A and B are shown apart, each in its own frame.
Chain A
Amino acid sequence: MAYKTVVEDDIDILVCGAGLGGTGAAWEARYWGQDKKIVIAEKANIDRSGAVAQGLYAINCYMGTRFGENNPEDHVRYARIDLMGMVREDLLFDMARHVDSAVHQFEEWGLPLMRNPKTGAYQREGRWQIMIHGESYKPIVAEAAKKSADKVFNRVCVTHLLMDEAKPNRVAGAVGFNVRTGDYHVFKSKSVVVAAGGASNIYKPRSVGEGAGRVWYAPWSSGSAYGLLIGAGAKMTQMENRIVLARFKDGYGPVGAYFLHLKTYTQNCLGEEYESKWWPGLQEIVGKEYLDPEVSHATHRPIPTCLRNHALMSEVNAGRGPIHMVTMEAFQDPHLEEIGWHNFLGMTVGQAVLWAATDVDPKNENPELTTSEPYVMGSHATGCGAWCSGPEDISPPEYFWGYNRMTTVEGLFGAGDAVGGTPHAFSSGSFTEGRLAAKAACQYIDDGKAEGIRVSQQQLDDRKKEIYKPLDHYKVYRNEITAGSVNPNYINPRQGLDRLQKLMDEYAGGAGVSYMTNDKLLHIGLKKLKLLEEDLEKLGAEDIHELMRAWELKHRHLTSEAVVQHTLFRKETRWPGYYYRGDALKLDDENWHVLTVSRRDPKTGEYTMEKAPCYHIVEENEQAEAAEA
């Protein structure tokens, strides 16, 4: 294949992926590096890319210290209990202390934040969420990023990071291809901020026809955050911590505003409250420290999301499904009814379409809820991602190696889905992490850490050959058959994706097996992933668009392998309701109150797993916290 090579050299900060994390990074980088060359590489169009492409109806991470609402440590405690203790509290505290400055900035940029007419404060949906008219959230932050960057490359799918050949374990830029022209793009950069997406479509979705596109997380979030980082040999953490969402059935419509603002609630098919009956049994699995309904009731400590999932699943499996969201009461109020619809139109239009198509008027009937297939990501209520350094003034030695949000690869930073152990970042937190990473990247360059980077032509040529291989492979074998998609020498990306989803569903605890797995199943899963990896070398891509799908699949595959390795390593059931280890059905704090850290050797593909300490923020007066808990 003869495609042009386009080289962008002398970049200081390369931002891969311009969702909320990437736009935050690009915008902030200009302040700390006014003389620096900042370049964005984005797979789609920055104006509508990433998870916020269609908009958002709430900013889910806002402290409100300005209004005397919360302090950073309150948010840390909330995320900690929601994730059953497994978070990077240094990174969380850091994000929480900065996030409000981003939100106030958004309001200044024109993002319509709703105000509470009585108090003048932002309209709260819940303790951490504020309500916005966010249809144009993404175009607004994109404008900020575009004003800061020297160049924005839209429609460039980044496939690999470049590695420095002068100093081991140091990043040197990235390569990819343009999904319109097919050109080979080379970015030579002193530092890279990976702000690409987490992964949808790793597990078989609930709908497998046309409806496979109606996933909870964007279908274009292809795990590139992990594919790029794992491929570069960065250490990853908490990759077993996939998330399952309880959402409106089939449309995946959000429930946050319904629960919190509209005060809707769930019941089983008999119209009964069902959650509380599952708590005693669940308490035996996870222990009283993590589930104590009386304490939760008295102190408003939330019951972890995964445990509420567990109750929902258990009730359905007991034959009392479907679970309904009781909307008929709230929707009698015209104002709340309007909010209920706007909530979907602002971020999940598909749910509104589904209700229109099925004549579901929440005023007159209570819609169904169900649990989704699992997703692998690190910015919503879960914390998959890279093992990153924290800030100097907070992090203990095991969590700190010089630069905030830097991975274990020098000069390689993360933001949003790419950073592990920082759940509950959402849009504003991801943007904030991008800002933090950008400041640290500038510091890294100013400290002279990026001097003397060398990338050989050989590395560029090898990557080029690798990138276009699916196109070449297709060309060679296409005419061996008459027509159609069945070929003994290649599979197309869709066929490969179907295979990945089937094996992850069956062996790694997908919805099809009620999220259950065990040691034996995971080992079979790993074996099948290895076979798939061999077949990924024989992917056939008919055109450039399919080449993009091929690389998305390869990133999803790398992500999946990390998920299985981590799930195998953590021999306990830490998050019942997200997944279960049938051979270790209890939470085991004695052995597993730790963070899991992995590294895949880029040369051999071998995994090494280790445990890392899980530090907590404790008040000086420990009794005060004990009383609060």
Chain B
Amino acid sequence: MPTFVYMTRCDGCGHCVDICPSDIMHIDKVTRRAYNIEPNMCWECYSCVKACPHQAIDVRGYADFAPLGHSVRVRRDEEKGVIAWRIKFRNGKTDMDLLAPITTKPWGKHIPQLKDVSGPTQEMRDSQLLFNEPKYIRLDDGGIHTLESNGLKMKEGVYY
């Protein structure tokens, strides 16, 4: 189900061009609106559908195996931190609404800048620890696992 763009809704803003991981949403030189230039390299990942401020982009199942007459639409709300899906079957009878959270924290504010935290000691550099370890491994006072601590050793050969 590659993406396509509704002529009357698209204003050529380019949000989809900006986000498409496959680089296949382009602006048509004649109509100055977006379109999918390479449907067989479209993963239907919905990144452009979610990014479009006008709900101008939709998806039609791959011609190889998907009959016409279905619809899967989505609204992603960053402010509320939710995503809403609507699935309509071809038969017109099944019509589902599904809602899921996408984040529990406000965007852009919560993740720390690691340049501002106090830097690693030489002892940490010399150890096998990563940032925030060992605390974040088990969220207790336990240390990092080593072969020794776990009573293991490496041995060559076939062994199960």
Contacts and interface: CB of A to CB of B under 8 A. Distances in A.
Interface of A: 27-28, 30-32, 34, 43-45, 47-50, 53-54, 65-66, 71-73, 81, 85, 89-90, 93-94, 96-98, 100-101, 104-105, 108-112, 133, 135-136, 139-140, 143-144, 147-148, 155, 179, 207-215, 218-220, 250, 289-290, 338, 341-342, 345-346, 349-350, 352-359, 361, 391-396, 435-436, 439, 443, 446, 545, 548-549, 589, 593, 613-622, 629
Contacts of B115: 30, 34, 148
Interface string B104-147: 11111011111101011000010010111110111110101111
Residue with the highest number of chain B CB atoms closer than 10 Å, among A47, A90, A155, A446: A47
A109 B105 contact: yes
A615 B155 contact: yes
Contacts of A393: 128, 146-147
A618 B153 contact: yes
B120 A353 contact: no
Interface of A is mostly: helix
B72 A349 contact: yes
B119 A34 contact: yes
B66 A345 contact: no
12 contacts: A48-B20, A101-B133, A112-B104, A136-B103, A341-B98, A357-B61, A357-B69, A357-B70, A392-B128, A394-B147, A545-B26, A616-B154
A105 B153 contact: no
Contacts of A352: 72, 85, 87
B8 interface: no
Contact of B23 (A179, A250, A346, A617): A179
A47 B64 CA distance: 30
Given A207-B65, A350-B61, A359-B90, 5 more contacts: A85-B160, A136-B102, A212-B40, A345-B83, A354-B1
A210 B102 contact: no
A66 B139 contact: yes
B143 to A, nearest CB: 10
Nearest to B64: A211
A618 B126 CA distance: 26
Nearest to B148: A393
A117 B69 CA distance: 40
Nearest to A113: B104
Contacts of B147: 93, 393-394, 617
Contacts of B160: 81, 85, 289-290, 629
B30 interface: no
Contacts of A212: 40-41
Nearest to B134: A101
A617 B104 contact: no
Contact of A71 (B66, B150, B159): B150
The 10 closest A-B pairs by CB, nearest first: A110-B105, A211-B64, A54-B45, A211-B62, A101-B136, A357-B66, A356-B70, A30-B114, A136-B102, A97-B145
B72 A356 contact: yes
Nearest to A212: B40
Interface residues of B, number: 92
A53 B138 CA distance: 29
Interface string B39-70: 11111111100000000000101111111111
Given A218-B43, A289-B160, A350 B1 contact: yes
Contact of A31 (B131, B137, B138): B131
A368 B87 CA distance: 20
B10 interface: no
B149 to A, nearest CB: 10
A215 B40 CA distance: 10
B41 A213 contact: yes
B67 A358 contact: yes
B145 A213 contact: no
A511 B128 CA distance: 43
Nearest to B112: A147
B151 to A, nearest CB: 5
Interface string B20-34: 111110100000000
B130 A49 contact: no
B89 interface: yes
B11 interface: no
A359 B139 CA distance: 47
Nearest to A435: B130
Contacts of A357: 1, 61, 66-70, 90
Contacts of B158: 85, 289, 589, 593
Nearest to B108: A143
B28 to A, nearest CB: 14
Given A44-B23, A104-B139, A353 B70 contact: yes
Residue with the highest number of chain A CB atoms closer than 10 Å, among B39, B61, B68: B61
B110 to A, nearest CB: 6
B19 A47 contact: yes
A395 B156 CA distance: 12
Given A90-B154, A361-B89, A110 B110 contact: yes
B145 A619 contact: no
A73 B47 contact: no
A616 B112 CA distance: 39
A133 to B, nearest CB: 5
A617 B154 contact: yes
Contacts of B98: 338, 341-342, 345
B153 A211 contact: no
Contact of A100 (B76, B106, B137): B137
A44 B21 contact: yes
A27 B72 contact: no
B61 to A, nearest CB: 4
Contact of B61 (A139, A353, A396, A615): A353
A359 B83 contact: no
A593 B88 CA distance: 52
A345 B49 CA distance: 13
Contacts of B64: 207-211, 250
Contacts of B111: 109, 140, 143-144, 147
Contacts of B45: 48, 53-54, 218, 349
B158 to A, nearest CB: 5
B153 A219 contact: no
Nearest to B144: A97
